[in-house]
Amino acid sequence: MKIQYPTPLQKGDKIAVTAISSGVERPLHILLEEAKSNMESLGYQVELAETVWTEEKARSATKEKRAKEFMDLYMDPTVKAIIPPWGGQFSLEIFPLLDWEKIKKMPPKWILGYSDISTMNFVYTTITGNASAHGINFVEMSAPTLDETSSGWERVLTANQKEIVTQQSSSKFQSSWEKVFKNPATGFYLDSQTEWKSLNTKETFSGRLLGGVINTLQNIHGTPFDQVENYLDTYTENEGTIWYLESVDMSAAEIYRALWQMKTNGWFKNTNGVLIGRLSGYTPTKDYQLKDVLIDIFSKENISFIYDVDTGHLPPQLTLVNGALAQVFYEKGAGKIDIHFK
């Protein structure tokens, strides 16, 4: 079977914003308003759904309301893409309430986001075989201007299936969110030199992309929504997989345990390479470092890995498409990724 790609986004298309996890508190509604204005300036229609405006108990609304709103928007033929405002903690609550059989029968549409949205995208792609996009969240589009890496979301979502979309490693990244929180809707503060890292001076590998945030993906194991083995056998047997992963506030030992669980459950079967994003809130465990974790998990399997890649909670980040065939090129601290929609 082949991965199904949404119809490329076009100017004039409607983008729906629904909070499947956290909504936006009143003091930060400026983020929604500015992002909507900026997206409309780019030529898109934007529908801000009810859940985006509220937040209580670390959720935008009840799981029932979040699930219904998502289903209604996904079933709406006038909605061409769904971009949640940002992540949160509880997107997994809505999975049992979604009608996955109905979703499978509908034409695929783009879902874009990261953090807890990656949990939704991961389950959506592995259950349906529809591509999804890991990249910038809607509220981050409130920036007056976006850097080249962040703005790549539009090139990816508007590409047709004959195109190859090339994305380069960034020149700088944002090491802290402090200035962003103090100055909402002013964009990222890219203050540190980007350097992709590897054990080798050169790396090249290819495969179908799949991944997200380790913190939340590990919770999928053993649930009815863990369809990874079937997905890998159905869609990646010939080309193999490139995993992209990152974490928030996890120690080296916690990352090791999570990756060990994924490996033991067969998730890294037929894996050609792994991209580890910049880790937010990471701490070593005594003298046990991230590089040690990656060597312990992947080296014995002859799986290549690159770390401190442009994905995760320390922007900017590449737009990586779950299910798409990708080629990764790395040399001396920099890299690029070619995405093929086939």
pLDDT digits (tens, 9 = 90+) for 218-277: 999 999 999 999 999 999 989 999 999 999 999 999 999 999 999 999 999 999 999 999
> Model confidence over 157-182: pLDDT tens digits?
999 988 999 999 999 999 999 999 99
**Global model pTM greater than 0.75:** yes
Residue 20, domain member (yes or no): yes
In sequence order, the β-bridge partners of residue 307 are 197, 276
275 in Cβ contact with 244 (< 8 Å): yes
List all residues 6 or more positions away from 15 whose beta carbon is below 8 Å from its beta carbon: 9, 39, 44, 45, 46, 47, 79, 80, 81, 82, 83
Concatenated DSSP letters for 28-44? GHHHHHHHHHHHHHTT-
pLDDT at 300: 87
Is the domain of 131 the same as that of 209?
Answer: no
pLDDT at 321: 98
Is the domain of 114 the same as that of 87?
Answer: yes
> Model confidence over 184-227: pLDDT tens digits?
999 999 999 999 999 999 999 999 999 999 999 999 999 999 99
Is the domain of 184 the same as that of 321?
Answer: yes
Which amino acid type is present at position 252?
A: A
Burial of 158 (0-12, 13-18, 19+ CB in 10 A): middle
Is the domain of 318 the same as that of 179?
Answer: yes
Is the domain of 139 the same as that of 178?
Answer: no
Give the gyration radius of the chain's Cα atoms. 19
Between 12-16, 199-203, 324-328, the lowest mean confidence (pLDDT) is in: 199-203
Is the domain of 214 the same as that of 146?
Answer: no
The CA-atom distances, in angstroms, between 284 and each of 204, 250, 290 are 28, 9, 7
Average pLDDT, the chain: 97
pLDDT at 9: 98
Residue 336, domain member (yes or no): yes
Is the domain of 270 the same as that of 328?
Answer: yes
Q: What is the CATH number of the domain that holds 323?
A: 3.50.30.60
Is the domain of 198 the same as that of 72?
Answer: no
Last residue of a domain, one of 162, 193, 226: 162
Is the domain of 210 the same as that of 326?
Answer: yes
pLDDT at 161: 87
Domain that holds residue 92: 14-162
Number of domains observed in the structure of the chain: 2
Is the domain of 229 the same as that of 179?
Answer: yes
Residue 19, domain member (yes or no): yes
Residue closest to 109 by CA, chosen among 89, 133, 127 = 133
Residue 167, domain member (yes or no): no
List all residues 6 or more positions away from 37 whose beta carbon is below 8 Å from its beta carbon: none
Strands (E), the chain: 14-17, 45-48, 79-82, 110-113, 132-134, 164-168, 172-173, 192-193, 197-198, 202-213, 241-246, 271-278, 304-312, 320-322, 325-331, 334-340
- State whether residue 68 is helix, strand or coil: helix
Beta-strand relationship, 241-246 and 202-213: parallel
166 in Cβ contact with 174 (< 8 Å): no
Say whether pLDDT at 303 is over 90.
yes
Is the domain of 42 the same as that of 148?
Answer: yes
- The residue with tokens 């863990």 is 226
Whole-angstrom distance, CA of residue 218 vs CA of residue 259: 8
19 in Cβ contact with 66 (< 8 Å): yes
286 in Cβ contact with 253 (< 8 Å): no
Last residue of a domain, one of 95, 129, 162: 162
Count other C-beta atoms under 10 Å from residue 145's C-beta: 9
Residue 8, domain member (yes or no): no
pLDDT at 182: 95
Residue 58, domain member (yes or no): yes
Q: What is the CATH number of the domain that holds 78?
A: 3.40.50.10740
Last residue of a domain, one of 143, 162, 181: 162
Whole-angstrom distance, CA of residue 254 vs CA of residue 247: 10
> Model confidence over 56-115: pLDDT tens digits?
999 999 999 999 999 999 999 999 999 999 999 999 999 999 999 999 999 999 999 999
Q: Report the catalytic residues.
A: 115, 246, 313
Residue 256, domain member (yes or no): yes
Convert 275-300 into a string of H (helix), E (strand) and C (coil).
EEEECECCECECCECHHHHHHHHHHH
Is the domain of 151 the same as that of 78?
Answer: yes
> Model confidence over 116-148: pLDDT tens digits?
999 999 999 999 999 999 999 999 999 999 999
